[in-house]
Amino acid sequence: MEENPPVRHPRKEYHEHPLRELLKFAAIAIIIVIPIRVFIAQPFIVNGSSMVPTFEDGDYLIVDEISYRFNNPERGDVVVFRYPNDPSKFFIKRIIGLPGETLKIVGSKVSIRHNKTEDEELYESYVVYPAQNNIEITLNDDEFFVMGDNRAQSSDSRSWGPMPKKFLVGRALIRLLPPNQIGYLPGKINP
């Protein structure tokens, strides 16, 4: 006895109009990309020589915008922030002084005063081009002292004052360009 093979009914294929498919794809992309770009991470291209040799002009970075909502910035973090004197501009610098601390810069040596009697000199191996200064400043509870690694070519807190926390965008999370320097937390120093 021969079995009858199952009968296959031709299935009607449904194709959406290409424009409708494109609009659906665009809507999904917008729903995913915009919240990430606005609240989590954003691209940043280094412009200038203030962070040489850590970062060169044209380095392409991804900035982490969410970590500082849960954790406080630390000394040595490389951060992107809005320039306090013109918030339409973005700067990249290294955090040197934390809220409430007193900084003393004599020549090229930076010291932090944790209490009224004790100064701790910072070891800054990332500074290749030092600058001569004579500064002493006490930071408020919402201020950071930021400086470029190329001290001789950096416009930073030494010239325009402390950076208020409200201008902080985030920290340098990933370097994507140049390809031979791709890395996680570029510029991170080990204490």
Catalytic member of 50, 125, 154, 155: 50
Catalytic residue selected from 93, 108, 109, 154: 93
Is residue 166 flagged as an active site residue? Answer: no
Known catalytic residue: 93?
yes
Cβ contact 63:41 at 8 Å:
yes
Q: Which residues contact 44 (CB under 8 A, 6 or more apart)?
A: 60, 61, 62, 63, 80, 90, 92, 172
Give Cβ neighbours of residue 46 (< 8 Å, ≥ 6 apart). 55, 56, 57, 58, 59, 60, 61, 92
- The count of other CB atoms within 10 Å of the CB of residue 69 is 8
Task: Give catalytic residue positions.
Answer: 50, 93
